[in-house]
Structure 1
Amino acid sequence: MQNSESIKAIPSNRLQFFPIMMFATVMGLMGLSMVFIKLNVSFDFPYEIGFYLGLFTSGLFLLIVLTYFFKIVLYVKEVKHELSHPIRVNFFAASSISTLLLSMFFRHIDMYIANILFFVGALVHIFFTFYTIKFWINNNLEIAHSNPAWFIPIVGNLIVPIAGVGFIDKSILYFYYSIGIFFWIILFSIILNRIIFHKQFAAKFMPTLFILIAPPAIGFISYIKLTASLDFFAHILYSLGLFFTILVFVMYKNYMNIKFFISWWAFTFPMAAISLATILMYELTNVVFYEYLSYIFTLITTSIVVLVAVQTVVHMRKKEICIME
């Protein structure tokens, strides 16, 4: 009875267009939560900031999961449409990435729950990885369909080793890492070709350029987790993450005056990733430069998350989200 009332509480037309991209909000908020938890360990920041933000994000994750479940039940055709859409299909992996991030957060609360979340996230993510790559191979995609969102099902494979150390044999974690690193290089070549030689991205996809930061930044953290070695390859990964971070800010004019879309959340998680990578670099080197850079990136990440969250709430109140595009 309560379930039917909950379903009725959501206007049917808006539930029908509830986007799979909403899971990107969990990625951004949980990423920021992990940044503050890491700051507590490295720089003695208050633990409560990251902890309560993580709890709030966990509740938001459950709300999004339930809402999308109702969409599957009531509007299965719309879900199938998203699964066959050349751009939206990539965002399904955001749900499994969110689960993996929750697993990382719950390591600080309950290892049993963290373990369950890890296995669920890892299994769902490898499913979406194979599904998405099969989709790319079996469909006649155009170069205009390519954009940095294609990295989402790939970056998740680099997150698995971070969440999974201590839960599963490292040989399996290397399997995930290999997929992520290999396809990052391949997809980057495709997307760079699209950016340079073809038509510019639509305004709503400009924020996805920030996703370029995530693969090397997450790859660096994952590599350190697997090898515990700050070697030449680790330096290359971090330096590339830093390079792409500087690049997207050099291109700041591209993001000015663009209309709000839910894709703005693409700004958030990559910035959290480079913030975490920089804090880890400081821990490994004790170089003061990385300490100051950690503060700067944390401030930028927090500001972006707050800005995008406020805009999301404002546009939700205007009923400009969950509408037909």
Structure 2
Amino acid sequence: MTTSTGAQLAPSTAAAGGSSVTALPVALFGAVMGLAGLALAWRSAHAQLGAPAWIGIGLGWLAMLAFVAVTAAYGIKALTAFGAVQAEFNHPVAGNMFGTPLISVLLLPMLLADASLPLARALWAAGAVGMTVFAWFIVSRWMRGAQEPVHATPAWIVPVVGMLDVPLALPALHWPGLHGVAMFALGVGLFFALPLLTLILSRLMFQEPMPEPLRPSLMIMVAPFAVGFSSYASTTGRVDEFATALYMLMLFMLAVLLGRLRNLPRCSPFRVSWWAVSFPLAASATATLRYAGHAQDVYTNGIAMLMLGIATVVIAGLLLRTLAEIARGELRTLIG
């Protein structure tokens, strides 16, 4: 990948000024998504495999604390360096990651529903409306044309396929009359997954390789199948042949992408962008646990435990490495 292409794909933080906070990318909300997804996976493991309940509860509180911290930090950036926020939003790749705070708001209600159902419902409603408006805006921007093929990266999946996260919380919210909303979100997410994955695969096959800092985002390509499976099962209330096909496709994509990413720690310095792998892995763990509950056999239970272990180890490693770098005052290096 040439330097000029790498610059096109990775927005500069120079405009953000000297503060590390004002240099924070909105994609850091991916850490919230990963922690929330892992908390939900461990809650599923408690229900399905009898895992300790305190792990899911503790991870849930950690996810909510991370959401508050990242929201506050990015709020400071918006107040002190609004031009940097505007430049990030208008960037053809980074702008898509403004879906990550909205997806976070859609995931947190599942962790809050037992403590405060009204708060969980309010958060979900805000997230559902925001996700729908953002998806509409991004699709409208795409349809204006003049998109560069090199910009078709996995980040493009976030704004529209992120609609698949809308139905996930509805069973926990006990909110009748929203089946049509769930079907709308499911239809939009699944429909746009097909052309977007085609465009991204075409870019990966016929363009130069993605820059090293962006390679963790390849794992996002698992999300349409992992989240699609859970969203479909939540909306229809069953695991049928179509849901099984999504599950099988998820396993295939995991096999491909985990192989591609296994050498990443040796070829690319640690960056905040590595958190892009966290939510797809956590969503895959949740999907495998849900399918294991349907299949009820030793093989699917083994796959579920393996995926839960991989997701837990990877996300724990990302969290510890991020906290260690922040403690050493290296936040700006992680963002660069």
Asked if these proteins are the same fold (TM beyond 0.5), I'd say yes
Taking only the aligned residue pairs, the percentage that are identical comes to 29
Residues 114-129 of structure 1 aligned to structure 2 (within 5 Å): 114-129=120-135
CA distance in 2, matches of 1:308, 1:114: 27
Give SS of 2:269's match.
coil
- Residue 310 (structure 2) aligns with: 300
Assess if the C-alpha contact under 8 Å between 2:22 and 2:76 holds in 1.
Answer: no
- After superposition, the Cα gap between the structure-2 partners of 1:251 and 1:224, relative to the gap in structure 1 and judged at 3 Å, is same
CA distance in 1, matches of 2:185, 2:255: 28
1:130 to 111, 132, 136: 136
Q: Is 1:234 the counterpart of 2:240 in the alignment?
A: no
- Residue 102 (structure 2) aligns with: 96
Bigger mean CA deviation after superposition, 185-194 or 74-83: 74-83
1:205 to 198, 208, 214: 214
Bigger mean CA deviation after superposition, 153-162 or 202-211: 153-162
Shift of the alpha carbon at 1:60?
1.4
1:146 to 134, 138, 152: 152
Assess if the C-alpha contact under 8 Å between 1:103 and 1:115 holds in 2.
Answer: yes
Matching residue's letter, 2:260 = M
- Residue 270 (structure 2) aligns with: 260
Cα offsets for 1:50-69 (capped at 9, x unmatched):
10111121011011112212
Assess if the C-alpha contact under 8 Å between 2:285 and 2:307 holds in 1.
Answer: yes
Assess if the C-alpha contact under 8 Å between 2:161 and 2:192 holds in 1.
Answer: no
Q: Is 1:195 the counterpart of 2:201 in the alignment?
A: no
Give SS of 2:79's match.
helix
Assess if the C-alpha contact under 8 Å between 2:34 and 2:275 holds in 1.
Answer: yes
Shift of the alpha carbon at 1:121?
0.9
CA distance in 2, matches of 1:219, 1:96: 17
Shift of the alpha carbon at 1:317?
3.3
Bigger mean CA deviation after superposition, 308-317 or 174-183: 308-317
1:316 to 307, 323, 326: 326
Matching residue's letter, 1:218 = V
CA distance in 2, matches of 1:74, 1:82: 14
CA distance in 2, matches of 1:29, 1:139: 36
Residues 1-325 of structure 1 aligned to structure 2 (within 5 Å): 13-138=19-144, 140-165=146-171, 166-167=174-175, 168-257=177-266, 258-322=268-332, 325=336
Stretches of structure 1 that go unaligned for 5 or more consecutive residues are 1-10
Shift of the alpha carbon at 1:164?
2.6
Matching residue's letter, 1:178 = G
Give SS of 2:91's match.
coil
Assess if the C-alpha contact under 8 Å between 2:22 and 2:74 holds in 1.
Answer: no
TM score, norm. by length of structure 2: 0.89
Shift of the alpha carbon at 1:22?
1.0
Shift of the alpha carbon at 1:302?
0.7
Cα offsets for 1:70-120 (capped at 9, x unmatched):
221221111110110111111110001001110111123221111111101
- After superposition, the Cα gap between the structure-2 partners of 1:196 and 1:36, relative to the gap in structure 1 and judged at 3 Å, is same
CA distance in 2, matches of 1:198, 1:318: 38
Cα offsets for 1:220-256 (capped at 9, x unmatched):
1111111123222111111111110111122245524
Stretches of structure 2 that go unaligned for 5 or more consecutive residues are 1-16
Bigger mean CA deviation after superposition, 76-85 or 256-265: 256-265
Shift of the alpha carbon at 1:306?
1.2
- After superposition, the Cα gap between the structure-2 partners of 1:138 and 1:316, relative to the gap in structure 1 and judged at 3 Å, is farther
Shift of the alpha carbon at 1:305?
0.5
Cα offsets for 1:274-303 (capped at 9, x unmatched):
111111111112121111111111110011
Give SS of 1:251's match.
helix
Matching residue's letter, 2:87 = H
CA distance in 2, matches of 1:35, 1:276: 5
CA distance in 1, matches of 2:298, 2:304: 10
Assess if the C-alpha contact under 8 Å between 1:154 and 1:183 holds in 2.
Answer: yes
Matching residue's letter, 2:132 = I
